[in-house]
Amino acid sequence: MTHGHDHGHDHRYEQRRALWVALWANGGFLVVEVIGGFAFHSLALLADATHMLSDVAALGIALVAQQLIDRPATAKHSYGLQRSEVLAAQANGVILVAAALAIVVEAVRRIGSPADVSGGGLLVVATLGLLVNVGSAVMLARARGGSLNMHGAFLHMTLDAAGSVAAIVAGLAVVIAGANWVDPAVSIIVAALVLWSAWGLLRDANHVLLEGTPRGMDPVAVEAALAGADGVEAVHHLHLWNLASDVPSLSAHVVLAGEVSLHEAQASGDRLKAVLNERFGIAHATLELECHPCDPGEVTA
């Protein structure tokens, strides 16, 4: 049991380290991109900088959430603060939506009267941005596991990489064909990608907050695994939800066959919890062991 705890602690440490590195890299490049956007009159760069500003804020939120996750349970918060990472993911989704809408408004304004963009400068800054974004995204992908919080941070980096690619395309269009209108046009494409990803992140975060069944987990299969175990007569009132986005939990009533002692019932419960952990990754399980089914009309949690 101690080994599992240490492994989880090490994984959280890797996630925090990845977030810190990404935060410093993106924070530093944000300054470069803002200066480049104004210097080269590029909305694509400023749009990507707006998104990168949301990234820096998102990474900061994600880091705070990672710190809160590791806080021990208290009398006031008996499960600790594990859902703080889901709230962070939800906040990141809202930030993404706001950034995307701001980009669209400015891009529509500029399409009618495109600014004189310096294509060469735009290309240099966008290429450097792509390197920063891809490096950050790879690092976060390796550390994210099943965490929605880390997935949200990874999405920000991936979309910034897409924004850098779009800015490179705009720079090439300006250098080769003098097509300044491409700069605001690709900004709208980036904004559309941002909105699409924000929708998915908000959907998943809300699913966890509403205590939906963990994605990819079949309640029927879980109930069948419990009901099919030796010494089990029936299973009912089964509930599945997530404490954090990567911490599935379960509660269920289990009717044991025959007449068993308290010691035997506890041993059966331990075996069933081991099955849940090994087959479905459910480490947090509460089983109410019964010698006969409870009243069907009884309201249970």
Q: Residue 166 sits in which domain range? A: 2-209
pLDDT value of residue 78? 76
Average pLDDT over the chain, rounded to an integer:
81
- CA atoms of 72 and 284, how far apart (whole Å): 15
Per-residue pLDDT, 114: 66
Q: For position 253, which CATH number holds?
A: 3.30.70.1350
Q: Based on the domain organization, do 133 and 205 belong to the same domain?
A: yes
Q: What is the model's pTM?
A: 0.69
In a domain, 297, yes or no: no
Rounded distance between C-alpha atoms, residue 132 and residue 27, angstroms: 10
Per-residue confidence (pLDDT) for residue 160, from 0 to 100: 75
Residue 280: alpha-carbon gap to chain centroid: 20
Domain boundary among 191, 209, 227: 209
Per-residue confidence (pLDDT) for residue 295, from 0 to 100 = 65
Residues 5-22: pLDDT tens digits? 444 556 667 877 888 888
Residues 7 and 102 in one domain: yes
Number of domains observed in the structure of the chain: 2
d(CA 77, CA 81): 7
121 falls within a domain: yes
Name the CA dihedral angle for 140, 19, 204, 212, rounded to a multiple of 10 degrees: 110
Same domain, 66 and 161: yes
Residue 223, helix vs strand vs coil? helix
Q: pLDDT (tens digit, 9 = 90+) per residue, 239-272? A: 999 887 778 899 999 999 988 899 999 999 999 9
- In sign, the C-alpha dihedral spanning 271, 274, 279, 284 is positive
Q: What per-residue confidence (pLDDT) applies to 10?
A: 62
Domain boundary among 179, 209, 239: 209
Hey, which of 32-41, 115-124, 238-247 has the most confident mean pLDDT? 238-247
